[in-house]
Structure 1
């Protein structure tokens, strides 16, 4: 959704509050597509700081279905996002790039809330997701989920430098 910022920028210290539906069904990144099961709308506060500077404050939350990093079981993870950004509206798009200002969600005097939500969700995405703190993962040989019980595979891994000695003992029996 695009929000026109001319109303906010028309007079100094003007504050505009908006509630915007995020309209995300899934979060698609290079790691995959993650369904979002629950979402709370984006609550925005736009404040004109004067001198063509805009303060954007917001918060929203979602629940995402993310596979456990050890056993690949789907886990519902709540992600609460709160942000505050100051944007200099005098800068052109090229000027923002030169200043390393990553405000690709502003185009002219329009605020693209979809890009803003996507960027903030990307920054707040969990680095590691576990179904439980003591998750045992999956077996390296057969792929069974070890949280459901042992799989029966031989899990002894010898030091590769000792493989020759192990072969000598195996042949001597």
Structure 2
């Protein structure tokens, strides 16, 4: 969803609130696609600070379905999105520093979906677990160990130590 913000950029000390609903239905992160189940409508506040900078602010929450990192069960994750950006203005135009990446502003159009997406990337959790003591899946048969134990032998022997294991098994006292 894009908005024309030329009136805010070109008028000193102008403030404008834009009610926003996003058109995003999923988010792509690290090669995966995750469905957005809920996003709260919110407002973006644009403020021209004495023709020197454009202040962009707003906050909302959104719910995303992400698989558990251990057992792959679906987990509902709530992300708090807090937008607080400052963009420099010069002669009624947006100015970005050379090292600053602009993905959400083009001339005088604000791309709200891209702005939200950038904030999702920053706030994305590093590890998602269905519960703190998630047991994961069996590496042998793939059974979800939170649901039931499969009985597989999951002992992993270091191949460099396998000969020692053979010696212990050969001379084992009965």
TM-score by length of 2: 0.88
Aligned residues: 171
Is 1:19 the counterpart of 2:5 in the alignment?
Answer: no
Name the CA distance, whole Å, in 2 between partners of 1:161 and 1:6.
67
Name the CA distance, whole Å, in 2 between partners of 1:52 and 1:9.
10
CA contact (8 A) 2:9 2:51 kept: no
CA contact (8 A) 2:138 2:144 kept: yes
CA contact (8 A) 2:57 2:83 kept: yes
Deviations 1:22-49 (A, max 9, x none): 1111112343110111111242000000
CA contact (8 A) 1:22 1:42 kept: no
Name the CA distance, whole Å, in 2 between partners of 1:51 and 1:7.
12
- Offset at residue 80 of structure 1 (A): 1.1
Name the CA distance, whole Å, in 2 between partners of 1:103 and 1:58.
18
Equivalent position SS for 2:19: strand
Q: Which 4+ runs in 1 deviate beyond 4 A?
A: none
Alignment of 1:68-83 (within 5 A): 68-83=68-83
Q: Which runs of 5+ in 2 are unaligned?
A: none
- Residue of structure 2 in register with 1:34 after alignment: 34
- Offset at residue 104 of structure 1 (A): 1.7
Q: Which runs of 5+ in 1 are unaligned?
A: none
- Residue of structure 2 in register with 1:96 after alignment: 96
CA contact (8 A) 1:8 1:14 kept: yes
Name the CA distance, whole Å, in 2 between partners of 1:101 and 1:42.
26
Tell me whether 105-114 or 156-165 shows the greater mean CA deviation. Answer: 156-165
Deviations 1:104-140 (A, max 9, x none): 2110011111211111111111111100011011111
- Decide which structure has greater helix share: 1
Name the CA distance, whole Å, in 2 between partners of 1:20 and 1:42.
5
- CA change 1:125–1:83 in 2 (3 A) is same
Equivalent position SS for 1:56: strand
- Residue of structure 2 in register with 1:116 after alignment: 115
